[in-house]
């Protein structure tokens, strides 16, 4: 890479995902500073990258299905300056022992599963009775959290097998908050998310990034790995790093556990394979966790092809050369992460951010929200001369 690009830049941003792109956009447009963005992939957008599948014309989400939802009005308004949103509302389903149930677990799921008509109070009373096996203790892990929310029968049907496939880690070793992403409802409300603002970007996710990075003060270089150019960095150049934190420190404190997903794509000879965008498979004997049919994310589009594209998702432990998707976050991981944080605090030109940089599962709106906050509280004050470090207080 041209050395001049580095010496002319006011800041280097490693990673063109939502965290990096939001900061690049803010720093260039609001502060008039020069930003150099690099990504080791050959495209922008990070894990939210989408592109058109040549065989079917369907927009494919390369790193797994992405659904935008938020209740954060600031993030919603910010993102809407780069894209319109469709009226898409996600509905989830799970197949268990050859029957299809609505997800997240709601009154319809409960009535269907137990084969009874139950009122909200009756259902709640039944589940509370089942959850009583835990006693008064607060749930300490994923299994206990799930049982406290849905009781053992529903846990064993819809959560245990799926979680075993997704994490291949004892559910008693997994943190309770993973399951907090899967709400339970005592109504027939079957929308997957309850957020105030939901939809899919009208022209796909990649177009958002093209617009965010279009400013004349932003230079974007793709196919560039940070560690290849690290020796060339000018001494005081601030760096926003959104790659894996353990990689940054050359794994010196140990490796952090991640799950990755292999997506097995197949073009099916029918315009509609499963009638919905995502079908989960709860049975442990079915090797994949879910099947995604991408065209259903954009029902507003006229797809000319009479074929459809599906992806079967298989989850496994991520090695160093795999794409890290989900932080496993066991107690050991938390201890390792803590040690990296201590080391990061000593580097005043280093700002760690995003999903990989902070070892946290972040939804898109959370990554954008965190970047907007970092701009306000760290990067803005730094460029105004009010802070002498870009490292963030975590
Ligand atoms: P990323 O998008 O991961 O971007 C980091 C970038 O840094 C990458 O492009 C990477 O190539 C680059 N990088 C790393 N190391 C280096 C290096 N050494 N040199 C140069 N570049 C480097 N969120 C939702 O809101 N809704 C969803 O439905 C949803 N579904 C998801 C499904 C899956 C399977 C996954 C994995 C995530 C999903 N997410 C979803 C989360 C969403 O992907 C993240 O919130 C978002 O990608 C976070 O942005 P980021 O910038 O932190 O990280
Ligand atoms: N989960 C489950 N059964 C399902 C869907 C999810 O047990 O049918 C659990 C599982 O542990 C999973 C977590 O809930 O890791 C979060 O699932 P979600 O689908 O929200 O996350 P995603 O995989 O889409 O990020």
HEC per residue, 62-92:
CCCCCCEEECCHHHHHHHCCCCCECCCCCEE
Please list the residues that pair with 36 across neighbouring strands. Answer: 12, 219
pLDDT digits (tens, 9 = 90+) for 43-81: 999 999 999 999 899 999 999 999 999 999 999 999 999
Q: Give the Å distance between the CA of 187 and the centre of ligand 1.
A: 33
Q: What are phi and psi of 129, to 5 degrees?
A: -60, -45
Whether 307 is covered by a domain: the verdict is no
* Same domain flag for 109 and 239: no
Res. 393 pLDDT band, cuts 50 70 90: low
* Same domain flag for 251 and 332: yes
**How large a percentage of the chain has pLDDT more than 90?**
87
* Same domain flag for 239 and 338: yes
Task: Based on the residue annotation, tell me whether 259 is a catalytic residue of this protein.
Answer: yes
* Same domain flag for 227 and 345: yes
Residue 90 clears pLDDT 80, i.e. is over it: yes
Whether 22 is covered by a domain: the verdict is yes
Whether 224 is covered by a domain: the verdict is yes
Res. 182 pLDDT band, cuts 50 70 90: low
Domain end among 179, 204, 237: 179
Q: What angle do CA 282, 288, 289 make, to 5 degrees?
A: 45
Residue 30 clears pLDDT 90, i.e. is over it: yes
Domain end among 156, 179, 202: 179
* Same domain flag for 120 and 23: no
Whether 33 is covered by a domain: the verdict is yes
Whether 350 is covered by a domain: the verdict is yes
CATH of the domain at 357: 3.40.50.720
Whether 220 is covered by a domain: the verdict is yes
- Looking at the whole model, is its pTM more than 0.85? yes
User: In 10 A of CB 299, how many CB atoms?
Assistant: 12
* Same domain flag for 241 and 340: yes
* Same domain flag for 238 and 173: no
pLDDT digits (tens, 9 = 90+) for 298-311: 999 988 889 999 99
Q: How many domains does the chain have?
A: 2
Whether 15 is covered by a domain: the verdict is yes
* Same domain flag for 224 and 353: yes
Residue 319: alpha-carbon gap to chain centroid = 19
User: What are the pocket residues of ligand 2 if the criterion is a CB atom closer than 6 Å to any ligand atom?
Assistant: 94, 103, 158-159, 162-163, 166, 178-179, 181-182, 280, 282
Domain that holds residue 142: 103-179
Whether 165 is covered by a domain: the verdict is yes
* Cβ contacts of 216 within 8 Å, gap of 6 or more: none
Q: Whole-angstrom Cα distance, residue 298 to residue 203?
A: 10
* Same domain flag for 108 and 164: yes
Catalytic residue among 313, 337, 355, 392: 313
- For residue 198, the ligand closest to its alpha carbon is 1
**How large a percentage of the chain has pLDDT more than 70?**
99
Q: Whole-angstrom Cα distance, residue 31 to residue 26?
A: 7
Catalytic residue among 33, 41, 62, 259: 259
Q: Across all residues in the chain, what is the average pLDDT?
A: 94
């Amino acid at each position: 890479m041209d050395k001049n690009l580095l010496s002319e830049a006011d800041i280097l941003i490693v990673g063109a995902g939502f965290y990096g792109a939001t900061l690049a956009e803010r720093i260039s447009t609001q502060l008039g500073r020069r930003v150099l963005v690099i990504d080791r992939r050959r495209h922008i957008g990070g894990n939210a990258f989408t592109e058109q599948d040549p065989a079917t014309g369907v927009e494919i989400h390369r790193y797994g299905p992405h659904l935008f939802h938020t209740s954060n009005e600031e993030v919603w308004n910010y993102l809407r300056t780069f894209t319109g949103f469709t009226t898409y509302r996600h509905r989830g389903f799970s197949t268990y022992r050859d029957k299809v149930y609505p997800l997240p677990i709601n009154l319809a799921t409960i009535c269907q599963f137990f084969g009874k008509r139950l009122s909200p109070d009756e259902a709640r009373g039944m589940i509370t009775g089942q959850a009583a096996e835990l006693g008064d203790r607060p749930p300490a892990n994923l299994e206990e959290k799930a049982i406290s929310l849905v009781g053992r029968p529903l846990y064993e049907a819809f959560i245990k097998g799926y979680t075993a496939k997704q994490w291949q880690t004892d559910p008693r070793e997994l943190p309770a908050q993973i399951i907090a992403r899967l709400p339970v409802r005592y109504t027939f409300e079957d929308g997957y998310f309850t957020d105030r603002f939901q939809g899919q970007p009208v022209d796909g996710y990649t177009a958002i990034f093209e617009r965010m990075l279009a400013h004349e003060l932003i230079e974007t270089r793709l196919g560039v790995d940070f560690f290849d150019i690290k020796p060339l960095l000018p001494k005081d150049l601030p760096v926003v790093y959104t790659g894996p934190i353990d990689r940054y420190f050359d794994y010196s404190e140990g490796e952090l556990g991640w799950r990755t997903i292999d997506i097995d794509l197949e073009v099916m000879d029918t315009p509609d394979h499963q009638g919905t965008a995502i079908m989960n498979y709860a049975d442990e004997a079915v090797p994949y966790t879910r099947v995604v049919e991408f065209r259903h994310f954009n029902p507003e589009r006229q797809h000319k092809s009479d074929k459809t594209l599906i992806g079967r998702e298989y989850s496994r432990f991520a090695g160093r050369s795999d794409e890290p998707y989900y932080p496993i976050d066991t107690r050991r991981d938390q201890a390792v992460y803590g040690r990296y944080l201590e080391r990061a605090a000593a580097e005043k030109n280093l700002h760690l951010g995003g999903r990989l940089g902070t070892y946290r599962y972040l939804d898109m709106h959370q990554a954008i929200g965190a970047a907007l906050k970092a701009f306000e509280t760290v990067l803005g004050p730094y460029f105004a001369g009010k802070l002498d470090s870009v490292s963030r207080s975590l």
